[in-house]
A and B are shown apart, each in its own frame.
Chain A
Amino acid sequence: MSQSFDDISAQLKRRHRKSSRLKWISMGALGLAGLFLVLFFADMLSKGLPAFQQAYIEVELDYNEDAQRMGRAALDPEVSRLVSRSFERLIPGMLRDDPGLIGTTEQRWVLADSEVDQYLKGHRSRLSEDERETVDELVESGRLELQFNTTFFTEGDSKMPERAGILAAAVGTVMTMLVTLAIAFPIGVMTAVYLEEFAPDNRFTQLIEININNLAAIPSILFGLLGLAIFINFFGVPRSSALVGGMTLALMTLPVIIIATRTALRSVPDSIRHAAFGVGCSRWQVVRDHVLPLATPGIMTGSIIGLAQAMGETAPLIIIGMVAFIPDVGASFTNASTVLPAQIFTWAGEPERAFVEKTAGGILVLLSILIALNAAAVVLRKKFERRW
């Protein structure tokens, strides 16, 4: 006779325990990944948020004769150590542009030195004891404070942390992405249309397909080698330029766009194609007038995701020299430029403590853009999602 329920249940106790152990362990694994994400963002925020504030100091500027040659002369020697040298260097130029200023004085909020900034933010600083006392007094009297750091968003790179900004890199990113999109989007969509709608299923088509999947998995640095050897050395595209960066990233983004477009095309049901063929459309007319419009949201979503990926890419750009030091904001496709991730990489290598904060600040900006792009892709997908 078979065993009773109670006998079996008693035997099962150990096995049930094992089973629930698997559940808890696997839940823990997911939790661990989530915990890492939380720690990561907490760390980045705590390091990067201070970058959006910068110490400014109110000083009395005395535009005397000496200041025409050496900006420092316009400042009270007591506080000149506390003012950013980048501002001091601007003074002779100001006086040259407007000689009427000479002999006048002016109260003005100016950028403070990064050591002052770091001291105010409670970080390690190289200020001497005396200077710290001066700073404390100035803070007390309201002549030295942390203000919103507009410089960070309006300037290019600088060797002085208080003056370094991301605008040049941001402009470089926009131009590089324009090139990337201009190349990768049409070619990617055309390739996908060919493979999905026109290509016969033969060896050649399979070769292209395997090749595209493989291309998606090739280490990005190898694309940099391609860019260096073919685009720069062979075709003579200017090194470090947004053009060569965009071309290199376009080749990397191509598989992403192709795969996304194919998925979007495949999700358009055959009944639509049959209906269009039925009213006498040619294959190209079916694709152009019926299939592509229905697949557009999917194609856009895929392209945005591909763009976001390209935007965060650094390794191939280092190889083709896009880690250049770009202090001036200028828009040209063929001049040396840099992009946000490359700017982050450059700052991460700077020895000054103040650059850690700039790096993390740059990271926050980059992450916000990427999150916004991905959110846009999600919204687009949700809004136009169609179930057939």
Chain B
Amino acid sequence: MNMQVAERERLSMSSQHAGQPVTRNDSANHELSIRVRDLNLWYGQSQALKNINLDIFQKNVTALIGPSGCGKSTFLRCLNRMNDLIPGVRTEGLVEMDGRDVNAAKMDEVALRRRVGMVFQKPNPFPKSIFENVAYAPRMHDMVSRKAEQDELVEQALRDAGLWNEVKDKLQQPGTSLSGGQQQRLCIARAIAVKPDVILMDEPTSALDPISTATIEDLMDKLKKQFTIVTVTHNMQQAARVADYTAFFHLGEVIEYNDTRMMFSNPHTKKAEDYITGRYG
């Protein structure tokens, strides 16, 4: 029985094109943003990612799901090379963006991160004012030259993050004075103020209450008009609600990559089905 399952899974993997979702969402945009081929990653001796192939499409929300420890966050961090910060991490394979290998020696990871922003699991506003939290990066990147421009950019970013009405009267207060959900939206505003192409979100709502979670999910839906979003989530309902595409990770491998509706209604692999129906995870 187990043999048969494994065989079926292997067949279903090989039958699809490398990195392509099993089924495409016809209403979605299919311009390629990031192409991942044969990506392997080791923490010292133990391999955390095995032969990952994945295409991420522009202006879509791609959700990465799977049980804890399956490598989904590690994969996310490969996309803007945040794994470089962890000693002993080694990667092989191709992560391509804009026709360039992001792992190439010539690639400047600072430049990469400017185009691939990130929002973290726990809100991490800087110990600065709300205004400074948003204005800091654009100013450093020379995106604004005049004070008025800067004010305008901050306001726009906070509006896009759905936070403007709540904070417009207290821009000079410290970012840490906000509630958890507001802090997380501040971090999103901070990320979009840099005008990246891609925003990575690492379980952005796992530390938040249900109402803040709903606000952030709505926000993701709006933001995908401007940005490509890749989100890691522990919560399958969330993936079903917000994502156009969903990739199911298990033990460092992509078991299934599919249009979200197909994934949740008609998974092609037994493992994904078991996970989605709650048999493990």
Contact with B115, one of A8, A11, A15, A16 (Cβ below 8 angstroms): A8
What are 19 A-B pairs with beta-carbon distances under 8 A? A2-B195, A2-B197, A5-B100, A5-B107, A5-B108, A5-B111, A5-B112, A5-B115, A8-B108, A8-B114, A8-B115, A9-B111, A11-B141, A11-B142, A12-B108, A12-B110, A15-B140, A16-B108, A16-B110
Residue of A nearest to B115 (CB): A2
Give residues 94-115 of B contacting A (CB, 8 Å).
98, 100, 107-108, 110-112, 114-115
Whether B111 lies near A8 (C-beta < 8 A) is yes
Whether B98 lies near A5 (C-beta < 8 A) is yes
**Is B196 an interface residue, CB under 8 A from the partner?**
yes
- The distance in angstroms between the C-alpha atoms of A277 and B140, with both chains bound, is 59
Residue of B nearest to A19 (CB): B110
CB-defined contacts of B110 to chain A, threshold 8 Å: 12, 15-16
- The distance in angstroms between the C-alpha atoms of A8 and B108, with both chains bound, is 9
User: How many residues on B have C-beta within 8 angstroms of the other chain's C-beta atoms?
Assistant: 15
Chain B interface residues toward A at CB < 8 A: 98, 100, 107-108, 110-112, 114-115, 140-142, 195-197
**Is A4 an interface residue, CB under 8 A from the partner?**
yes
Chain A interface residues toward B at CB < 8 A: 2-5, 8-9, 11-12, 15-16
- The distance in angstroms between the C-alpha atoms of A95 and B23, with both chains bound, is 115
Would you give the shortest CB distance from B100 to chain A, in whole angstroms?
6
- The distance in angstroms between the C-alpha atoms of A12 and B115, with both chains bound, is 13
- The distance in angstroms between the C-alpha atoms of A4 and B108, with both chains bound, is 12
Whether A9 lies near B108 (C-beta < 8 A) is yes
Residue of A nearest to B110 (CB): A12
CB-defined contacts of B141 to chain A, threshold 8 Å: 11
- The distance in angstroms between the C-alpha atoms of A55 and B230, with both chains bound, is 82
CB-defined contacts of B196 to chain A, threshold 8 Å: 2
Given contacts A5-B111, A12-B111, 9 further A-B pairs with CB under 8 A are A2-B115, A2-B195, A3-B115, A5-B107, A5-B108, A5-B112, A8-B115, A11-B141, A12-B110
CB-defined contacts of A3 to chain B, threshold 8 Å: 115
- The distance in angstroms between the C-alpha atoms of A3 and B107, with both chains bound, is 15
- The distance in angstroms between the C-alpha atoms of A328 and B28, with both chains bound, is 97
Would you give the shortest CB distance from A17 to chain B, in whole angstroms?
12
CB-defined contacts of B140 to chain A, threshold 8 Å: 15
Would you give the shortest CB distance from B259 to chain A, in whole angstroms?
27
Would you give the shortest CB distance from B147 to chain A, in whole angstroms?
21
CB-defined contacts of B112 to chain A, threshold 8 Å: 5
Would you give the shortest CB distance from A2 to chain B, in whole angstroms?
5
A-B pairs, top 4 by smallest CB distance, nearest first, are A8-B111, A9-B108, A9-B111, A5-B111
Would you give the shortest CB distance from A264 to chain B, in whole angstroms?
30
CB-defined contacts of B114 to chain A, threshold 8 Å: 8
Would you give the shortest CB distance from B103 to chain A, in whole angstroms?
13
- The distance in angstroms between the C-alpha atoms of A9 and B109, with both chains bound, is 9
CB-defined contacts of A2 to chain B, threshold 8 Å: 115, 195-197
CB-defined contacts of B107 to chain A, threshold 8 Å: 5
- The distance in angstroms between the C-alpha atoms of A4 and B195, with both chains bound, is 13
Would you give the shortest CB distance from B140 to chain A, in whole angstroms?
8
Would you give the shortest CB distance from A55 to chain B, in whole angstroms?
58
- The distance in angstroms between the C-alpha atoms of A8 and B196, with both chains bound, is 12
Would you give the shortest CB distance from B226 to chain A, in whole angstroms?
11
- The distance in angstroms between the C-alpha atoms of A12 and B141, with both chains bound, is 8
